Structure 1
Amino acid sequence: MGRRLHVLGFREGNPFHHVLELSEECVTIECIIERVGVEGAIYALGRRVEDKLPEGASEVYLLSPPPGPVAARLLGPNERLDFNMVYEVLSLRGGATGAGALVSFAGFVKGLVEGSTVHELYYEAVRELAEREMMRIAEKYASAPGVRDIAVYHYHGPRRPGDPTIYVFVTAVSRHQAFTTAAIVLEEIKHKVPVYKLEKRSDGEYWILGDHTRIPRKLGR
């Protein structure tokens, strides 16, 4: 069974988290780079690999070096984000490009709203449209002075209380730039990305607007 290769970045048209299958014979950095068509550094099991992959390594991360946002993805309800992997990749990229701060934000479903129990928060979105707008926002703020990388992940489908709904990561030269940019990116995503939220709770169902206004959903008889 081949090793799984995760390509991080956008060089040669490779999207973030695109998975390729490598043959068991392709175990050197040169072989992998030749197969994938990008330059970068390889990380396996959280460790830098100098020449060969360690025995038993099942996943390899190929890090593309160009600046700009690392990711803007819509996640399915059953997908789990490898938080540690994203943190390590952004830290390594940031350290190589002069960043000194990484800020991460995680949003999750509230279990109690306005005194009513929340059973589920359902996100509806058209993947292509949502990811395009998320990428536009990420690219816009990743080009700001002092900002190095932005990664945004938003879930769609059913989410229950305590489930994550959105992750925002920002690396920047200073902590002030990282905190400020993360807050701005989050607010712009909430107001401009076409992801629609339906809150199902003990007193009915409500559509939630970007300004937190709730509109009761009229259910058919």
Structure 2
Amino acid sequence: MNKKVAVILSGCGVYDGAEIHESVITLLRLDQRGALVQCFAPDIEQMHVVDHFSGDETGETRNVLVESARIARGEIKDVRELHAADYDALIIPGGFGAAKNLSDFAIAGANCTVQPDVLKAAQGFVSAQKPVGLMCIAPAMAAKIFGQGITCTIGKDEETAAALTKMGAVHQECEVSEIVEDSQHKLVTTPAYMLAQSISQAASGIYKLVDRVLELAQH
């Protein structure tokens, strides 16, 4: 039976939304493995909008759900409609949107909070003991979603790892091509573009993350 997987996006573009390569690789691998996928995003304004050519803020306002729809080819729902009972697993790609729109980690660091609708949806999977995959900077939300003692990785960035540790997570260094699994909590994480120097490097760990999340969804 095909597994049903929810994917939460955070906009469209590495600097102010979901990392596009990570998102597409995730959706590709899920499709290759025969999973049935539904994308979600919060219906909120982005923290800010960044010109991805110049790197400058533009002063525009954009909606996270509307921008995420670009990646999902329009097939997306408000994250408030996401209920763990309807799905077998959850995956959240990275990009600064995870730290700016899904949470305020980019500003608040270890004192961050997760956007309430996203937090409620994600904690539904934790309560149901269903697997969750977080990649790139998204594991910065792990301690807020799972609680103290959760094991995860953001790769090797010492400053970010220190913030995760301060929040109560157990950080484990990891190569770009590998995953870190907290088997007790069914959380799988991989560094992706926290370390990747190419799209194929990012894909190496993301494929393993997706495959493992689907395996855990069997149990």
Fold shared by both chains (TM-score > 0.5): no
Structure with greater helix percent: 2
Structure with greater strand percent: 1
TM bucket, shorter chain: under 0.3
**TM-score, reference length from structure 2:** 0.27
**TM-score, reference length from structure 1:** 0.26
Point out the structure with max Rg over C-alpha: 1
